[in-house]
Amino acid sequence: MATLPLAHQPENHPRVKAVFDDMRATRKSDFINSFWRTLAFDPDLLERTWQEVKQVMAVPSLLDPLTKEMVYIAVSVANACSFCVHSHTAAARAKGMTDGQYAELLSVIAVAGKTNQLATALQVPVDAVFDAGAGPADPARR
């Protein structure tokens, strides 16, 4: 159960319909999950959130789509977001993640979670060698 009622016909609202239509076209799927349908209570928040998710996750870029989904899963696990773990694991599967790749992803998340706790427990000081130092005069490096 959510903190907001799920609207029965959210697409009666034109801005919600526009976002959902774009989502269907972008993802080539008719399914709109509960996150988006719940967020539809506020068209502003819905539009801004979808624009960012689309820009980062759906536009072809330097990182391949599956790598991005695996990073998304990793953050969602560490933040203990049940819905996000489910939806992005399903997305990674849809993008071809095999059982073997999933087992490796879980192994990396597990060892990272473990050494995070150890380094925090030991309060290990950051080695000077990791310092990125003072940068060049040229501001934007990309």
63 binds its own copies (CB under 8 A): yes
Q: Are 40 and 7 in contact (CB under 8 A)?
A: yes
Q: In terms of Cα–Cα distance, which of 94, 87, 86 is closest to 66?
A: 94
Site pattern 113..142 for its own copies (x: CB under 8 A): xxxxxxxxxxxxxxx-xxxxxxxxxxxxxx
60 binds its own copies (CB under 8 A): no
Residue 26 CB, nearest approach to its own copies (Å): 15
Ramachandran region, residue 126 (left: φ > 0; alpha: ψ -120 to 50; beta: rest): beta
Stretch 13-52 residues interacting with its own copies (CB under 8 A): 13, 15-16, 31, 33-35, 38-45, 48-49, 52
Pick the closer one to its own copies by CB: 23 or 76: 76
Distance, in Å, from the CA atom of 24 to the CA atom of 34, rounded to the nearest integer, reads: 14
Stretch 68-97 residues interacting with its own copies (CB under 8 A): 68, 70-90
101 binds its own copies (CB under 8 A): yes
Pick the closer one to its own copies by CB: 25 or 138: 138
11 contact partners, CB below 8 Å, separation of at least 6: 17, 20
Joined together, the tokens standing for residue 46 give 């819905």
Residue 36 CB, nearest approach to its own copies (Å): 9
